[in-house]
């Protein structure tokens, strides 16, 4: 019930100004975001690698309407990849990129600028020996994201995509992307979407998630099963064995700070588990989406806001 209002607040500048004054060290933020700097992100990566986990790093930011900010985001990814290389981590860590953070929404030539910026990051990732996955944002960007993915894959076929099971279109998108070498991260979807494009009830989203899992696991690509839902994890495991998939031909993915014990349990059972590690100063939108998924955390959040006063 609270999900839609919280997601709407995630786009409010007024609330953002209030919440953004929270120090990153406040409990609720650090439970989801290990830090604001590249160094903090690399240190968190090294700790997760020690726990036998893989990583994908996200430099936080989205909905950029400013060319310089888009350029700064590209530079941040290039620097991140440099620091990962220095520490010998690219074998374990890739990067996740939001196209609206690197120019997709810019009024003049946004599509072209985002594509060129994504190419720069893909090139830096390849030079470092790792890969890029394009995050999926709200449904108004789905077509553009998939078009940019198609272009990028001509030169960088290792580039991954995200599909969101709450969208009506996604089962078909899974069919289109279930080809050899195609890395597809399947998540439920985190944005406030209208009934015209997305399932609204959890049960319908879960059923769609299972249908999409079947398409991806039966297909030729590399499915990345991104969920914390114990039922989805169990169903994915049994579908993987039904379709004769060996453990290293797919992976599980979870967000930093969510069900860390389950992440370790799955890794210990031989599964590849990748943790999505967001970092940077622009944590507001990300945090609000996590709160929307788990309104129980709201009281914790409001206490953090009150105690800073």
The residues that touch ligand FAD, with contacts defined as CB under 6 A, are 135-136, 162, 164, 185, 187-191, 226-229, 253-255, 258-259, 276, 290, 293-294
| Alpha carbon distance 94, 52 (integer Å) | 15
Selecting among 58, 135, 138, 173, the annotated active-site residue is: 135
| CB proximity list for 162: less than 8 A, separation 6 or greater | 133, 134, 135, 136, 184, 185, 186, 187, 226
Residue 265 annotated in active site: no
Q: Which of 119, 153, 183, 185 is catalytic?
A: 185
CB of 171 to ligand FAD, least distance (A): 16
Distance of closest approach, residue 226 Cβ to ligand FAD, in angstroms:
4
Q: How far is the CB of 108 from ligand FAD (least distance, A)?
A: 26
Kindly tell me which of 63 and 67 has the beta carbon lying closer to ligand FAD. 63
Catalytic residue flag (residue 135): yes
Q: CB-based contacts of 265: which residues, under 8 Å, 6+ apart?
A: none
Q: Kindly state the smallest distance separating residue 225's Cβ from ligand FAD, in Å.
A: 9
User: Which of 138, 309 has the CB closer to ligand FAD?
Assistant: 138
Indicate the residue among 88 and 143 with the shorter CB distance to ligand FAD: 143
Catalytic residues: 135, 185
């Amino acid at each position: 019930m609270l999900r839609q209002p919280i997601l709407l607040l995630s786009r409010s500048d007024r609330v953002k100004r209030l919440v953004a004054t929270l120090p990153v060290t406040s409990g609720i933020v650090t439970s989801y975001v290990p830090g604001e700097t590249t160094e903090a992100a690399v240190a968190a990566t090294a700790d997760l690698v020690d726990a036998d986990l893989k990583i994908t790093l996200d430099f936080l930011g989205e909905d950029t309407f400013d060319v310089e900010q888009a350029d700064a985001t590209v530079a941040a990814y290039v620097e991140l990849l440099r620091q990962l290389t220095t520490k010998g981590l690219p074998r374990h860590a890739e990067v996740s990129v939001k196209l609206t953070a690197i120019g997709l929404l810019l009024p003049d030539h946004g599509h072209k600028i985002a594509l060129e910026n994504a190419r720069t990051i893909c090139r830096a990732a390849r030079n470092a020996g790792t890969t890029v996955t394009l995050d999926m944002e709200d449904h108004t960007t789905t077509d553009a994201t998939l078009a940019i993915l198609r272009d990028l894959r001509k030169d960088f076929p290792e580039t991954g995509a995200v599909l969101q099971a709450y969208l009506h279109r996604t089962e078909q998108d899974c069919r289109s992307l279930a080809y050899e070498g195609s890395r597809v991260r399947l998540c439920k979807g985190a944005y406030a979407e209208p009934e015209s494009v997305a399932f609204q009830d959890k049960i319908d989203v879960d059923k769609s998630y299972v249908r999409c899992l079947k398409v991806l696991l039966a297909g030729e690509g590399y499915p990345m099963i991104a969920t914390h839902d114990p039922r989805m994890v169990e169903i994915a495991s049994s579908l993987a064995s039904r379709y004769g998939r060996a453990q290293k031909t797919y992976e599980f993915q979870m967000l930093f700070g969510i069900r860390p014990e389950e992440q370790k349990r799955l890794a210990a059972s031989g599964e590849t588990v990748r943790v999505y590690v967001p970092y940077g100063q622009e944590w507001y939108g990300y945090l609000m989406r996590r709160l929307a998924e788990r309104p129980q955390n709201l009281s914790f959040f409001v206490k953090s806001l009150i105690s800073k006063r």
